[in-house]
Amino acid sequence: MRKIYDHQKTKYQHAAIDAFGDYMTVDSALAIPQQDIFVLFEEIKDSSYFKEWNGDARLQMTFANLEGKYWGLYHHETLAVYLAHDSADARILCHEVAHHLSYQQALDVPHHGPTFCTHFLNLIMLFADACDSELLRSCFEEHKVEYYFPRTVKAQQLRKSMGLV
Ligand SMILES: [Zn+2]
């Protein structure tokens, strides 16, 4: 298969680090108990957002030894999200679920392109209460990360407050 150019991966990574700190290092991982991340995963799968964007109910999540190379991985062929053992973190889960929803739309979307970034921002807004989604959005703007304006209820309230609707 043709290799898909991940044109804004670096910009995305810089924006995410600015917003959330460098969670790609072990020391600053915002770990939550593993059972809580399973509850959150089910909550995401049950949500109208996940269903609206054609999320697959068969999506699985499991902990795996990722050899320190990744915090999380998503395999579209097997519909599986893998989290490293020390990655029970809502941000990492939202990142991998955003990959799932992006590939549900089209298999040739850039891995961290506008579709992915929109899903990631929406999922953070909806499911990662400890994270400042508005800060993430402003970091996307600052780093010129392309995304579509989120269309969640919270985002619509924000749009209203900005006088956009
Ligand atoms: Zn990714």
Nearest to 96 by CA among 114, 80, 108: 80
Return phi, psi of residue 62, to 5°.
-150, 155
pLDDT band of residue 102 (cuts 50, 70, 90) is very high
pLDDT value at position 25?
A: 56
pLDDT value at position 45?
A: 98
- Encode pLDDT of 48-97 as tens digits: 999 999 999 999 999 999 988 888 999 999 999 999 988 888 999 999 99
> Taking the domains of the chain in order of start, what are their residue ranges?
9-161
Q: Span 125-131, mean pLDDT?
A: 85
Distance in Å, CA 71 to ligand 1 centroid: 10
pLDDT value at position 133?
A: 87
Distance in Å, CA 159 to ligand 1 centroid: 27
Q: Span 40-52, mean pLDDT?
A: 95
Distance in Å, CA 160 to ligand 1 centroid: 31
Distance in Å, CA 72 to ligand 1 centroid: 8
Distance in Å, CA 16 to ligand 1 centroid: 11
pLDDT value at position 34?
A: 86
Q: For residue 25, give the amino acid letter.
A: T
Nearest to 144 by CA among 52, 35, 14: 14
Q: Span 38-54, mean pLDDT?
A: 94
Distance in Å, CA 165 to ligand 1 centroid: 32
Q: Span 20-43, mean pLDDT?
A: 76
